[in-house]
Chains A and B, each alone.
Chain A
Amino acid sequence: MSDITIPEARQAAEHAPAHKKDTQGVKMGMWLFLMTELLLFSGMFLLYSVYRYYYTKEFHQAGMETHTMFGTVNTMVLLTSSLTMALSIAAIERGKKWLSVTFLSSTIVLGLGFLVIKYAEWSTEIADGIYPGSPKLLQHPRGFELFFAMYYLMTGLHGLHVLVGCGILITMLIFIIRGKITQDDPVRLEAAGLYWHLIDIVWIFLFPLFYLVN
């Protein structure tokens, strides 16, 4: 404490309070938005749970049909993208602009990779005749059909969030390159990061519910 020089202290006093308040406000706003997202997904998780309770046997049968491999790989892709997201923020806070750009670009590539894998997975299933209202599904019991309705609804909505997330991250990438997000003002990147991590958390719960039914 006693080591602080006067110019440093003055500089900190000029910038610190206003900036801190703003930063916390932005993050708080983002968290409030994330709560609404949480509620949106929770409603579906609730529906899934109730259906699973009513149609335990059918959900079990249907769960065997999903591709665990696709799900596991995609989980790892998304977790890694969360790591590079966190690293990108850590880099900008150290003033390493291009390192931050590199990490953020990796996050975007991994996010798009997730969608490509998802596309391959859905294509396989649709080719197998498994899609909402398909003649093959209608031959199965109701619970079986409901499982796949929930599957397409929840992974579809999640995929949409990944797509939107990629759009937000591309915007952040442009901001960093143009010097609008800097070491002294990284809060927009942090807020975008919070959104990205939330998408990851939703997937963490989707994964055991749809892919790990043995």
Chain B
Amino acid sequence: MSKTITSGHHEAPTSYGIYVLIWLALMSLTAITAVVAGIDLAAFTLVIALLIAVVKSSLVVNVFMRVKYDDKIFKIFIAIAGGTLTVIFLLTFADVYFRR
């Protein structure tokens, strides 16, 4: 079919439906974070809120920013940047925690 040839031109357009679905997921996760914050889970409150933020941002990166459908090189970019940041955070936290 002629569709196969145009895909070499630019990636096959993502369907509107997927975006709407992801948006609904993001809105629900926001509602969940807001509700969870109201419940006292002591130290876990922050951890859960941050975990939800990680899930939300990975949805945005993969679908809205299309990394999931894009070339592998972009995944490598993000992995290297993410890895570097993790090291910076961990080393700083280790320093702060073990100081004194």
Chain A residues within 8 Å of B, Cβ to Cβ: 1, 3-5, 8-9, 12, 15-16, 19-20, 23-24, 27-28, 31-32, 35, 38-39, 42, 46, 49-50, 53-54, 68, 72, 75-76, 79-80, 82-83, 85-87, 90, 93-94, 184, 186, 193-194, 197, 200-201, 204-205, 207-208, 212-214
Contact = CB atoms under 8 A, between A and B. Distances in A.
Interface in B3-62: 4-6, 8-10, 13-16, 19-20, 22-23, 26-27, 30, 33-34, 37-40, 45-46, 49-50, 52-53, 56-57, 60-61
B23 A3 contact: no
14 contacts: A3-B1, A12-B5, A42-B85, A46-B89, A50-B92, A68-B34, A75-B30, A90-B14, A90-B16, A197-B64, A204-B57, A208-B53, A214-B37, A214-B38
Contacts of B8: 12, 16, 20
Interface SS of B by simple majority? helix
Contact of B30 (A35, A76, A86, A197): A76
B60 A201 contact: yes
Contacts of B6: 12
A155 to B, nearest CB: 16
Interface of B: 1-2, 4-6, 8-10, 13-16, 19-20, 22-23, 26-27, 30, 33-34, 37-40, 45-46, 49-50, 52-53, 56-57, 60-61, 63-65, 70-71, 73-74, 77-78, 81, 85, 88-89, 92-93, 96-97
B65 A197 contact: yes
Contact of B37 (A8, A197, A205, A212): A212
Contacts of A15: 9
Contacts of A5: 2
Chain A binding surface SS class = helix
Nearest 9 Cβ contacts at the A-B interface: A208-B49, A212-B37, A93-B13, A83-B23, A16-B8, A12-B5, A201-B57, A86-B19, A86-B64
A201 to B, nearest CB: 5
A58 B52 CA distance: 24
B97 to A, nearest CB: 8
A93 B45 contact: no
Q: Tell which of A83, A87, A208 has the most Cβ of chain B within 10 Å.
A: A208
Nearest to A201: B57
Given A193-B65, A208-B49, 5 more contacts: A5-B2, A16-B9, A20-B10, A79-B30, A204-B57
A208 B9 contact: no
Contacts of A39: 85
Contact of A1 (B4, B39, B85, B89): B4
B20 A83 contact: yes
A19 B23 CA distance: 31
A70 to B, nearest CB: 12
